[in-house]
Structure 1
Amino acid sequence: MLVIRLVSGPAGPDALVLPVRPGGPDSPDSLASPDPTVSPASTARLVPTAVPLGDDVPAEAAAVLPATRLTGAAGEVREHLRPGGSPARLWLLGVGEGDERDWRTAGAALARAAKDETQITIALPGEATAALRGLAEGLLLGSYRFRLTEAGKRPALAEVSVLVDDPDALAGTLDAARATAETTRLARDLTNMPSSTKNPEWFAAQVAEAASGRPGLHLRVRGPEELAAEGFGGLLAVGGGSASGPRLVELDWRPDGARTHVVLVGKGITFDTGGISIKPVPAMKLMRKDMAGAAAVIAATLGAAELRLPVRVTTLAPLAENMVSGSAFRPGDVIRHYGGLTSESTNSDAEGRLVLADALAYAVRELKPDLLIDLATLTGANAVALGKRHAALYSENDALAAGLLDAITAAGERAWRMPLADDYVEYLASEIADLHSSPAQGAGSVVAALFLREFTGDLRDRWAHLDMSAPSWSDDTHGELVKGATGWGVRGLLRWLATLG
Structure 2
Amino acid sequence: LIGVKPCVKTTSSQSDKSFFAQIFFEVSISPMRLVLSTAALSAMMLLGRATAFSLGRRALVSQRHNVFKTSSVATSRMEGSNQLPVAAASFSSSSSLSMSEKEAPFGTWTYDKHCEEMSWTESKDASVLSVSSDASAADDCDLVVVGIFAPAKDEKEEDSDDKDKEEPKPALTGAAADLDKSLGGALSAVMEENYKAFKHGASAGSVTPTIRIFDGSKSKKYILLGLGTEDKDVEAATLFKVGSAVASACNDEKKVKSCAVLMPSKLGSAPSTLTDISSSFYSQLYADNRYRTGDKVTVTAEDLTSVVLVPEGDVADEEATSALAAGYSISQGIYLTKDIVNAPHNVLNSISLANTARKIAEESGGLIECTILGKDECEKRGMGSFLAVGRGSETEPQFIHLAYKPKDGKINKKVGVIGKGLLFDTGGYNIKTAMMELMKFDCGGSAAVLGAARATAALAPEGVEAHFIVAACENMINGKAMVPSDVLTASNGMTIEVDNTDAEGRLTMADALVYADKEIGCEDIIELSTLTGACMVALGTGLAGVFTQNEDLASELRDISKVTGDKSWRMPLEQEYNDQLKSKIADIKNCGTRYGGAITAGVFFLEFFGKKKKKKKKKKK
Pairwise TM-score range, normalised by the shorter structure: 0.7 to 0.9
Question: Are 1:276 and 2:429 counterparts?
Answer: yes
Question: Are 1:362 and 2:486 counterparts?
Answer: no
The corresponding residue for 1:90 is 222
Alpha-carbon distance change, 263 to 175 in structure 1, aligned in 2, over 3 angstroms: same
1:102 is displaced (CA, Å) by: 1.7
Alpha-carbon distance change, 209 to 350 in structure 1, aligned in 2, over 3 angstroms: same
1:303 is displaced (CA, Å) by: 1.8
What 5-or-longer segments of structure 2 have no aligned partner?
A: 1-122, 156-165, 613-621
Question: Are 1:153 and 2:297 counterparts?
Answer: yes
Question: Are 1:185 and 2:335 counterparts?
Answer: yes
Q: What pairs with 1:444-455 in structure 2 (closer than 5 Å)?
A: 444-455=597-608
Which of 300, 312, 330 lines up with 2:452 in the alignment?
300
Alpha-carbon distance change, 213 to 75 in structure 1, aligned in 2, over 3 angstroms: closer
How big is each residue's C-alpha offset from its partner over 1:231-275, in whole Å with a ceiling of 9 and x where there is no partner?
111111000000011111001111121110111111110000000
Alpha-carbon distance change, 57 to 212 in structure 1, aligned in 2, over 3 angstroms: farther
Which of 389, 401, 415 lines up with 1:250 in the alignment?
401
How big is each residue's C-alpha offset from its partner over 1:285-343, in whole Å with a ceiling of 9 and x where there is no partner?
11111111111122212222211112110111000100011111000100101121111
1:88 is displaced (CA, Å) by: 0.7
How big is each residue's C-alpha offset from its partner over 1:436-457, in whole Å with a ceiling of 9 and x where there is no partner?
1112251001100100111112
Q: What pairs with 1:437-476 in structure 2 (closer than 5 Å)?
A: 437-458=590-611
Question: Are 1:121 and 2:247 counterparts?
Answer: no
1:47 is displaced (CA, Å) by: 6.0
| TM-score when normalising by structure 1 | 0.83
1:54 is displaced (CA, Å) by: 9.0
Alpha-carbon distance change, 416 to 139 in structure 1, aligned in 2, over 3 angstroms: same
Alpha-carbon distance change, 272 to 49 in structure 1, aligned in 2, over 3 angstroms: farther
- The DSSP-based 3-state class of the residue aligned with 2:352 is helix
The corresponding residue for 2:325 is 175
Equivalent residues of 1:124, 1:131 under 8 A apart: no
Equivalent residues of 1:241, 1:323 under 8 A apart: yes
Question: Are 1:208 and 2:355 counterparts?
Answer: no
- Range with greater deviation from structure 2 (301-310 or 189-198): 301-310
The corresponding residue for 2:239 is 103
Question: Are 1:240 and 2:381 counterparts?
Answer: no
Give the whole-Å Cα distance in 1 for the aligned partners of 2:212 and 2:154. Answer: 29
The corresponding residue for 2:182 is 56
Which of 457, 461, 475 lines up with 1:309 in the alignment?
461
Give the whole-Å Cα distance in 1 for the aligned partners of 2:454 and 2:480. Answer: 35
Equivalent residues of 1:16, 1:87 under 8 A apart: no
The corresponding residue for 1:36 is none
Output the amino acid matched with 1:91.
Answer: I
Equivalent residues of 1:264, 1:373 under 8 A apart: yes
- Range with greater deviation from structure 2 (332-341 or 6-15): 6-15
Alpha-carbon distance change, 154 to 436 in structure 1, aligned in 2, over 3 angstroms: closer
- The DSSP-based 3-state class of the residue aligned with 1:394 is strand
Alpha-carbon distance change, 41 to 421 in structure 1, aligned in 2, over 3 angstroms: closer
How big is each residue's C-alpha offset from its partner over 1:174-208, in whole Å with a ceiling of 9 and x where there is no partner?
22322222211211111111111110000010111
Q: Percent identity?
A: 30
Give the whole-Å Cα distance in 1 for the aligned partners of 2:498 and 2:538. Answer: 24
Question: Are 1:7 and 2:132 counterparts?
Answer: yes
Alpha-carbon distance change, 355 to 60 in structure 1, aligned in 2, over 3 angstroms: same
The corresponding residue for 2:248 is 112
1:415 is displaced (CA, Å) by: 2.7
Q: Give the RMSD, CA atoms, in angstroms.
A: 2.5
- Range with greater deviation from structure 2 (155-164 or 287-296): 155-164
1:23 is displaced (CA, Å) by: 2.3
- Range with greater deviation from structure 2 (62-71 or 285-294): 62-71
- The DSSP-based 3-state class of the residue aligned with 2:356 is helix
1:87 is displaced (CA, Å) by: 7.1
The corresponding residue for 1:65 is 191
How big is each residue's C-alpha offset from its partner over 1:363-414, in whole Å with a ceiling of 9 and x where there is no partner?
1111111111111110011211121122222222222333334334433323
Give the whole-Å Cα distance in 1 for the aligned partners of 2:405 and 2:386. Answer: 26
How big is each residue's C-alpha offset from its partner over 1:124-177, in whole Å with a ceiling of 9 and x where there is no partner?
223233543332233222222222224333452234221234133322322232
Q: What pairs with 1:262-411 in structure 2 (closer than 5 Å)?
A: 262-282=415-435, 284-310=436-462, 311-411=464-564
The corresponding residue for 2:277 is 135
Equivalent residues of 2:332, 2:454 under 8 A apart: no
Alpha-carbon distance change, 14 to 350 in structure 1, aligned in 2, over 3 angstroms: same
Give the whole-Å Cα distance in 1 for the aligned partners of 2:601 and 2:142. Answer: 55
Output the amino acid matched with 2:418.
Answer: V
The corresponding residue for 1:482 is none
Give the whole-Å Cα distance in 1 for the aligned partners of 2:393 and 2:368. Answer: 30
Give the whole-Å Cα distance in 2 for the aligned partners of 1:49 and 1:99. Answer: 23
Output the amino acid matched with 1:237.
Answer: A
Give the whole-Å Cα distance in 1 for the aligned partners of 2:219 and 2:141. Answer: 4
- Range with greater deviation from structure 2 (164-173 or 359-368): 164-173
Question: Are 1:428 and 2:581 counterparts?
Answer: yes
- Range with greater deviation from structure 2 (135-144 or 213-222): 135-144
Equivalent residues of 1:100, 1:133 under 8 A apart: no
How big is each residue's C-alpha offset from its partner over 1:434-479, in whole Å with a ceiling of 9 and x where there is no partner?
11111225100110010011111259xxxxxxxxxxxxxxxxxxxx
- The DSSP-based 3-state class of the residue aligned with 2:431 is coil
Output the amino acid matched with 1:123.
Answer: L
Equivalent residues of 2:510, 2:605 under 8 A apart: yes
Q: Which has the higher contact order (CA 8 A, sep 6+)?
A: 2
| TM-score when normalising by structure 2 | 0.68
- Range with greater deviation from structure 2 (255-264 or 416-425): 416-425
Output the amino acid matched with 1:184.
Answer: I
Give the whole-Å Cα distance in 2 for the aligned partners of 1:375 and 1:293. Answer: 5
- Range with greater deviation from structure 2 (403-412 or 347-356): 403-412
Give the whole-Å Cα distance in 2 for the aligned partners of 1:393 and 1:335. Answer: 29
What 5-or-longer segments of structure 1 have no aligned partner?
A: 29-39, 460-501
Give the whole-Å Cα distance in 2 for the aligned partners of 1:441 and 1:381. Answer: 8
